[in-house]
Structure formats: structure tokens, C-alpha cells
Amino acid sequence: MSPRIRYSHEIKCDIYFYAMKNILKLSESKRTPSSRTGPSKPLDGNYAYIEASGRRSGDNAILTSAVTSQLLPSGPSCLRFFYNMNGRDMGTLEVFAGERNSEQKVWSISGNQNDKWSPVGVDILPANDLVIMIEAIRGKSYRSDIAIDTIELFDSPCSGKHSLVFMMINSDHIFIVMLRKTNHRQILCVFFNLLHYDIGSALDTGNEFIFKE
């Protein structure tokens, strides 16, 4: 069963990922604040991470897509990204995908994976209203910072040859998502500070989070 999400406002955009809950942060090309957890160096520039300090075991952060289905491949696709799960009390990183409100877990990893950036490719089946969610779950202590970077979606299964459909990159406090359609027309969607909500700007009601403007 996938995490439940409800929004108090909508951001108009063809395709994007946006961050859920204030514990997901953006690192500006350096390690996370806590010692003995998180990446010692970035993969390439900035990265997003879950800040475990000051949180409870099981607290989570979610990146979720909002996609115009006509813009996605009609067949299977491949989600690729890099992750770093360095910490003695590491939690879990999971990917959910499927039709909206019926998403299923398609990939998961738990425990300390040491201080390295690891690539992963996850096959995504087509759906009428496809949603992709990346969820990071805090471990037993502050030594469970989970970092992710370079989220890409390709137009065929991970084992085959494919073309880039979209790529999520970040710069300072801005997320820019670039979408490539079959005619190579590029659409840019820019939105600000979604990783930098102040404490209290998200209401925590279990697995349901409501952002307030």
C-alpha cells in the first residue's frame, strides 16, 4: 500500500517532482550536517536528502510526480537515480509506481550501504494516470540520512536501449525539470523552495501530509 498524500494547493506544470514534508532538504555541494551519516561528497553538484536529526524512527519524506499522461511513453519505462545510504542506523528507501491512488511498491532497499553513490534502475509499467513516488524512511537514530540525486525517466525498460524522457536537476534552491518529447521540443518547469518549508508549514497526520501556503 502506498503512502497517502493530499494537497492544499496545486502547482500547474506538465511534469515535475515535488517534495513532501519538511525533512527533505537540499544540500549545496557538501555533506549533511550530522557526523557519520550522509554522503561525504556530492555525486555532481547538489543533492536532496532526508535529515534524520531531530526526527523519530519511521518519519518519512516523499518525492512524488505529477504527470500529464499523454507526455509519457506508451509502454514500459525506466526510472534511474543515484542514492547514498550511509549510516549505522539506516532506514529504508522505496519506490512506488502505478495508477494514481493504486500505486504499488516496485523497489526497496534498507540498511547501511556505506558512503557511496549507487545507481539503480527500476522498470515502470505504463498506466493511464501514472504516478511515481520515491519515499525515504528514517532509521533508528540520527545516523540515517538518505540522499538521492539525478532522477531520470527513460522511454523503455532498463535492460533495453532508450531515450531520455525527462531529467530532474537542481541548482541552489530551485528545481528545474526538463521534459523531452518525441519531437525534441523542450518544456521547462521551474518552481522554488519546495525543499525548504519551515517547520510547521506541513501538517503531519500519519502518512498524510498537507502543505499550506
**So what's the pLDDT on residue 167?**
55
Task: Assign 121 to helix, strand or coil.
Answer: strand
Domains, the chain? 15-197 (2.60.120.200)
Task: Assign 56 to helix, strand or coil.
Answer: coil
**So what's the pLDDT on residue 183?**
33
Give the cell for residue 202.
506541513
**So what's the pLDDT on residue 34?**
80
> Going residue by residue through the chain (213 aa), what tens digit of pLDDT does each one get?
444 333 323 333 333 344 444 445 455 546 777 888 889 888 776 677 777 787 888 887 777 775 545 556 677 888 888 899 999 999 999 999 988 889 899 999 999 999 999 999 999 998 888 878 888 888 999 998 888 887 777 778 888 766 666 555 443 333 333 333 333 332 223 232 233 322 223 333 332 222 222
**So what's the pLDDT on residue 90?**
96
CB burial of residue 10 (10 Å; 0-12, 13-18, 19+): exposed
**So what's the pLDDT on residue 122?**
94
The number of beta carbons lying within 10 Å of the beta carbon of residue 71 is 15
pTM of the model: 0.69
Q: Are 194 and 213 in contact (CB under 8 A)?
A: no
**So what's the pLDDT on residue 173?**
33
Separation between Cα atoms, residue 20 and residue 2, nearest integer Å: 14
**So what's the pLDDT on residue 161?**
67
